[in-house]
Amino acid sequence: MDPISIKRPSDPYDLIWNEQPLPHFCYSLFSPYARLSHAVLTRHGGMSGGPYHSLNTSFGVGDHPDHVAANLHIIRDFLGARRLIHMKQVHGTRILAVHREDEKKEVFMPSADALITDAPGLALLVKQADCQGVILFDPGRRVVAVVHCGWRGNANNILSKTTARMQQEFGCRACDLLACIGPSLGPCCAEFVDHEKLFPEALKVVQVNGTAFFDLKAFSRRQLLDAGLKKEHIQVSGLCTRCRTDLFYSYRGEGRTGRFGTVAMLT
Ligand SMILES: [Zn+2]
């Protein structure tokens, strides 16, 4: 594979780039914690061709299923995971919790938009092409979650629902949780011409100067703060998927395309 030219991040709070062994970004917020393996993968390093080139993680976009299965194996091996759980993401609010004691139960592509576990070696994958992939981590109680959050996820506050489940089922406290919001549609490209019809009133707070553009990452950040997270416990990537189709898939930018993965696993 040719080396990927990546502009050095100008934002000190942005992600750390690693090209080997599989191109990916890491969050500096998670760096001190050896108990968590995580990666924001890109579109590079996989088997898919055409518009899905090359590390597409979704069976639902028209890519060859053998290529998608091979890509998921690449990701599982990269993390050294015993098992990789991924979802049929439906822009809903169903959250699946896989407890350590029931991790051997068969869960094949559940319809859900968030996964939580306290089981080491179990990799959780969220798939994106403009939506936000969010990782939540409790370093003390060793619980991790991944969330798929598009504007519907913001409207339904899936982030606070996920933190609530982490509190109820795993004994986490919101003030201990760390959260990272990944590369996704930035305010530069998040134009919603029908926002008056589509969006609930709450989303207006992140409307950019009365235009049809919205800062959905800022909205997620706000929802996490409202859920009780500390501001120094939240990292937000400045990367916009539509502006960076050299690195990521973008549904808005490309239409027929793949989905890149964000993965997290307790070690
Ligand atoms: Zn953009």
Residue 252 parent element (H or E): helix 251-254
* pLDDT for the residue numbered 105: 79
Query: Considering only CA atoms, which of 160, 131, 152, 162 is closest in space to residue 241?
Result: 131
Query: Considering only CA atoms, which of 6, 98, 14, 72 is closest in space to residue 259?
Result: 72
Q: Please give the domain boundaries of the chain with CATH numbers for all domains.
A: 22-266 (3.60.140.10)
pLDDT of 177-207, one tens digit each? Answer: 999 999 999 999 999 999 999 998 989 999 9
How far is 193 from 196, CA to CA, in rounded Å?
Answer: 8
* pLDDT for the residue numbered 106: 76
* pLDDT for the residue numbered 266: 98
Is the Cβ–Cβ distance between 53 and 257 less than 8 Å? no
Determine the distance separating the centroid of ligand 1 and the alpha carbon of 77, expressed in angstroms. 32
Determine the distance separating the centroid of ligand 1 and the alpha carbon of 151, expressed in angstroms. 16
Is the Cβ–Cβ distance between 38 and 265 less than 8 Å? yes
Determine the distance separating the centroid of ligand 1 and the alpha carbon of 188, expressed in angstroms. 4
End-to-end CA distance of the chain, in Å? 29
Residue 7 has pLDDT above 80, yes or no: no
Residue 9 has pLDDT above 60, yes or no: no
* pLDDT for the residue numbered 121: 96
Mean pLDDT of the chain: 94
pLDDT of 74-112, one tens digit each? Answer: 999 999 999 999 999 999 999 999 999 887 777 778 999
Determine the distance separating the centroid of ligand 1 and the alpha carbon of 242, expressed in angstroms. 5
Determine the distance separating the centroid of ligand 1 and the alpha carbon of 179, expressed in angstroms. 22
Which one-letter amino acid corresponds to residue 239?
A: L
* Angle, CA of 128, 105 and 68, to the nearest 5°: 35
* pLDDT for the residue numbered 6: 60
* Angle, CA of 215, 220 and 225, to the nearest 5°: 125
Is the Cβ–Cβ distance between 55 and 48 less than 8 Å? yes
Residue 4 has pLDDT above 70, yes or no: no
How far is 61 from 43, CA to CA, in rounded Å?
Answer: 14
* pLDDT for the residue numbered 2: 57
Determine the distance separating the centroid of ligand 1 and the alpha carbon of 238, expressed in angstroms. 10
pLDDT of 26-68, one tens digit each? Answer: 999 999 999 999 999 999 999 999 999 999 999 999 999 999 9
Determine the distance separating the centroid of ligand 1 and the alpha carbon of 157, expressed in angstroms. 23
Residue 159 sits at φ, ψ, to 5 deg, of -65, -45
Determine the distance separating the centroid of ligand 1 and the alpha carbon of 145, expressed in angstroms. 26
Residues 6 or more apart whose Cβ sits within 8 Å of residue 108? none
Strands of the sheet with 178-181, listed across from one edge = 95-98, 114-117, 143-149, 132-138, 178-181, 234-236
Residue 10 has pLDDT above 60, yes or no: no
Q: Six-digit token pair at 163? A: 């933190």
pLDDT of 121-166, one tens digit each? Answer: 999 999 999 999 999 999 999 999 999 999 999 999 999 999 999 9
